[in-house]
C-alpha cells in the first residue's frame, strides 16, 4: 500500500520565528505562502503554519506517561527510517536544540521498539520524530 501525503495546518503566533525554525532546524523546503501562512514539504507531507493567537496547548502542554517519560499532548510528527532519524537527531543536537525528550530508544526489547525524540517549535507546538527497529511493528499490539 502506498501512503498518501497528509495535510496538517497548525497555529503559530510568531510566523517569522516559526518559518525560520521549520526551514532551518529541519531544512524543509517552502511552498506557497502569504502574510498569514506558509506551506512546507514536511518529509513528503504538507505542513502549513498559520498565524493565529496563542492557544492553551501552546501555553502549557498536557502530558501523558509513556515508557517512563512525560509525553506532551497534543503533538505531531513523522515516522522516519532509522538512518534518516539518526541523521535528524544529530542535526538537531548540532544546532543546540532543546529537547523535551532527548533522542533515545523506547520499548527497548519489546514489540514496537522505536527511536524517538520530542521538541517544541518556537510557538509551543510539540513535535515527535520516531523510527521503528522493525517498521512492520508500527501498528503491532
Mean pLDDT of 121-128: 97
Quote the pLDDT of residue 60.
86
Identify which of 17, 127, 22 has the alpha carbon closest to the alpha carbon of residue 72.
127
Average of per-residue pLDDT values in the chain: 95
Quote the pLDDT of residue 1.
67
Structural domains of the chain, with CATH:
1-53 (3.10.180.10), 62-141 (3.10.180.10)
Which of the four pLDDT bands, split at 50, 70 and 90, describes residue 141? confident
The structure's pTM equals 0.92
**DSSP-based three-state secondary structure for 3:** coil
Look at residue 125 and tell me whether its pLDDT is greater than 90.
yes
Amino acid at each position: 500500500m502506498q501512503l498518501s501525503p497528509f495535510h496538517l495546518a497548525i497555529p503559530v503566533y510568531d510566523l517569522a520565528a516559526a518559518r525560520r525554525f521549520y526551514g532551518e532546524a529541519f531544512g524543509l523546503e517552502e511552498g506557497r505562502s502569504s502574510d498569514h501562512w506558509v506551506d512546507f514539504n514536511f518529509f513528503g507531507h504538507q505542513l502549513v503554519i498559520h498565524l493565529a493567537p496563542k492557544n492553551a496547548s501552546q501555553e502549557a502542554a498536557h502530558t501523558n506517561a509513556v515508557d517512563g517519560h512525560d509525553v506532551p499532548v497534543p503533538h505531531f510528527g513523522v515516522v522516519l527510517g532509522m538512518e534518516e532519524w539518526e541523521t535528524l537527531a544529530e542535526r538537531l543536537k548540532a544546532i543546540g536544540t532543546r529537547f523535551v525528550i532527548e533522542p533515545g530508544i523506547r520499548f527497548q526489547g519489546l514489540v514496537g521498539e522505536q527511536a524517538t525524540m520530542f521538541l517544541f517549535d518556537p510557538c509551543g507546538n510539540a513535535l515527535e520524530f520516531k523510527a521503528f527497529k522493525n517498521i512492520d511493528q508500527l501498528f503491532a499490539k
